Structure 1
Amino acid sequence: MSKAQRSNGQVSSVGGPEFSNDELLEVLSNQRRRFTIHYLKQRKGEHVSVSELTDWVASWENDTEIEALTHQERKRVRNALRQFHLPKMDDHGFIEYDARRGTVTLTDEAADANFYVDSLTGGDIPWGIYYLGLSAFCGLCLLGYWAGLFPFTLVEPFTWSVFVLTALTISSVGHFYDNYYRMRLGAREKPPEVDEG
């Protein structure tokens, strides 16, 4: 599995052909390029016009509906995509960009890979801190029972075991769902960084 660290989270590609850490950092370090991959993943190999891609990227970037975008917002994104982002993504093998026709599509390699962006928004707690807290709580309960302290002795060891197993199972299912659905580019209508609310 390839992984690359970013300042506000982690990006990685899982499954399919590997992209190098440098390629992942280079391409996924920019929000417009992440939005581009997200949209192209949703289109499942279709050729998309740069104009259509521009509308969606600008919409997500400005947190507004496509119909409400100004000419200037569209122009700024379109120029940046055409002149910089799309050629760079093409050079690194993530997309096929036909500047003459004004179309773009994911390469087979990028279409087969899953890209995850760990983006914390609002009151989200990182999974590592969540599991640390859960472990500390379960450890405190175990120590309290072992030391014979009230109220920990009110619960039998089997009940503690069922509680810990249930907590870990629910947490693991939630973590899997969060990784596979919320943080995977192309999995939802909007990219991970854009608030669905």
Structure 2
Amino acid sequence: MSSYVPAVDEPRSKTDKLTRDEIFTMLSNRRRRWVLYFLEQCDDRRVDLRTLVDRISAWEYDTPPDELPWKKRKRVYTALRQSHLPKLAEVGAIEYDRNRGEVELTDEAYELRMYLEYVPSHDIPWSQCYLGLSAIAAAMTALTWYSVYPFAGLSGVVLAAILVAMFGASAVVHTWHTRRNRLGSEGRPP
């Protein structure tokens, strides 16, 4: 049984979903991650290849773009033009006009970017946190229903306010935590 694999130059259909292997392959290279990061940071959606090469070279060699030797820029330019940009364009993450030397991030790049989120190993998954909060909310509701001290005097409105505050605070912490751990935060590339 054989499966159809699109040729390198054949555009990916909008209905074709990326597999996890394809996503991890795209993100396995630091230069491709930097391309996505840089394009996401740009106010102007279209970026010329020279600007992209300057920024990626500066990050790679940890040197300001105006101090980079021509040979180092050429290495990055060649790799981006011949390998990385065509691969990102093939999966639909960018639009790459080779003739004009312009690159643009697409809406489909979001599918790749969501795999770049960093989750520390010592953290509990947020799904377990919300499951725990739900268990606490159910227990508080039951204790209030059966008038168990100290919940005996709580009205339904007060109980609802406590539960909303509990889930609201958790959602705020979750949002803050996710933004703090996002790769590429604080101006650093992933």
TM range (shorter): 0.5 to 0.7
Structure with more contact order per residue of length (Cα contacts < 8 Å, sep ≥ 6): 1
Over the aligned positions, Cα root-mean-square deviation in angstroms equals: 4.4
Aligned to 2:9: none
1:196 to 183, 186, 189: 186
Work out whether residues 121 and 193 of structure 1, in 8 Å CA contact, stay in contact via their aligned partners in 2: no
Aligned counterparts of 1:69 and 1:127: Cα–Cα separation in 2: 45
Structure 2: give runs of 5+ residues left out of the alignment. Answer: 1-13
| Percent of pairs with identical residues | 28
2:17 to 17, 20, 29: 20
Alignment of 1:111 onto 2:106: yes
Work out whether residues 57 and 65 of structure 2, in 8 Å CA contact, stay in contact via their aligned partners in 1: no
Alignment of 1:37 onto 2:36: yes
Count of residue pairs brought into register by the alignment: 165
Work out whether residues 55 and 65 of structure 2, in 8 Å CA contact, stay in contact via their aligned partners in 1: no
Structure 1: give runs of 5+ residues left out of the alignment. Answer: 1-16, 184-190
Greater strand proportion? 1
Q: Check 1:48–1:67 CA distance in 2 against 1; reply closer, same or farther (3 A cut).
A: closer
Work out whether residues 58 and 68 of structure 2, in 8 Å CA contact, stay in contact via their aligned partners in 1: no
For 1:111, give the aligned amino acid.
T
Please, what TM-score do these two structures have when normalized by structure 2?
Answer: 0.57
1:96 CA displacement: 1.0
Aligned to 2:52: 53
Aligned counterparts of 1:54 and 1:19: Cα–Cα separation in 2: 30
Aligned counterparts of 2:152 and 2:171: Cα–Cα separation in 1: 28
Please, what TM-score do these two structures have when normalized by structure 1?
Answer: 0.55
For 1:137, give the aligned amino acid.
I
Aligned to 1:10: none
Work out whether residues 60 and 194 of structure 1, in 8 Å CA contact, stay in contact via their aligned partners in 2: no
1:48-197 equivalence runs, <5 A:
48-50=48-50, 52-57=51-56, 66=64, 78=77, 80-93=79-92, 94-98=94-98, 103-106=101-104, 111-113=106-108, 115=110, 116-117=113-114, 119-121=117-119, 126-169=125-168, 182=179, 192-196=182-186
Rg larger in structure? 2
